[in-house]
Amino acid sequence: MTLILNSDEIKNCVKFEKVLIPIIEDAFKSLSLGKTVMPPIMRIDIEKYHGESDVKAAYIDGLDSFAVKVASGFFNNPKLGLPSSNGLMILLDSKTGVIKSILLDKGYLTDLRTAIAGAIASKYLSNPDSSTVAIIGAGIQARMQLEALTLVRDIKNVNVWSRELNKTNEFIKNLSKDLDLNFQAMESTEQAVKNADILITTTPSKKPLIQYSSLPKGIHITAIGSDAEEKNELDPNIIKNCNAYVPDNQAQTSILGELNHAIRMGLINKENNFNDLGKIILNPKLGRINQEDITVADLTGTGVQDTAIARYAFLIAEEKKLGKIIN
């Protein structure tokens, strides 16, 4: 029997809660310790419509189920009144391969696990007293990254920049209804990062938006936009000169992430091995050493995150008796 869950039922099961942090942390730890089977990402680019679709999957040793996910990002969609992200997850039994659940989340679980990964990165890599965050971008992931960040840091000030000022203002207006924070719309990325403790980049930009010369000492950067070969939000010199570069999975970031561009420019040797996020969770001393360090988390999204959050959503749905069972 297979449990079918629609997006409303999934949102009823899984919200921004601190319980998600250890669930995703455990997934990263398993990945770092080699206790997973995670194939390379399969991606289709639809350049004509500024879109892409990815297939990710991972088995985590010891879990009774694993996920295969199809996710899309079509970045012209907001102009059509549609969300930019969509998708679904399929949860399969680890012993038999039987489909346990189809989660029609429309990209919600992907957005959520990505935001939680960003919060985990800030938890381990930013200064504990961080209170000002710069957000680059004004889409759904920008909002969710900020909401997740408030689970791990006492954020007071939010500097927001996006390419369209009216979109930035609308973003601030909507978020101000739910979050009692000091929001400011910034005219440039340089202005946004000037006094920031944490910087989160969430755009599909193909040209660097953040220059190394604009970074204040002690800043932590979580970069999530560069999840394809051509995407690039950070000046590659940031990767070269930061005190701690932390990929979610180096096999991916060397091809898809910000690291990819630093390697292409000859700034980083492709044979270099970096401590991934799982290693930092296992041993935080491998990350930030002192208050003035500049740290970077390069997050391209992993199949282990999808398995972890799909399994959690399924278990909560069973507990709440949600969804429709089909034979």
| Domain locations in the chain as residue ranges | 2-109+304-326, 124-300
Q: To which CATH superfamily is domain 124-300 assigned?
A: NAD(P)-binding Rossmann-like Domain (3.40.50.720)
- Report the chain's terminal Cα–Cα distance, integer Å: 5
Cβ distance 134 to 159 under 8 Å?
A: yes
Fold of domain 2-109+304-326:
ornithine cyclodeaminase, domain 1 (3.30.1780)
Nearest to residue 25, comparing CAs of 286, 313, 278? 278
Cβ distance 168 to 185 under 8 Å?
A: yes
Q: What is the pLDDT of residue 72?
A: 93
The pTM assigned to this predicted structure is: 0.94
Spell out, as residue ranges, where the chain has pLDDT lower than 50: none
Residue whose pair of structure tokens reads 């791990």 in the numeric block: 152
CA distances from 7 to 108, 312, 313 (A): 8, 15, 11
Tokens of residue 10, six digits: 């999934």
Q: What is the pLDDT of residue 231?
A: 87
286 burial (CB, 10 Å; 0-12 / 13-18 / 19+) is middle
Nearest to residue 60, comparing CAs of 26, 22, 10? 26
Cβ distance 171 to 143 under 8 Å?
A: yes
Q: What is the pLDDT of residue 16?
A: 87
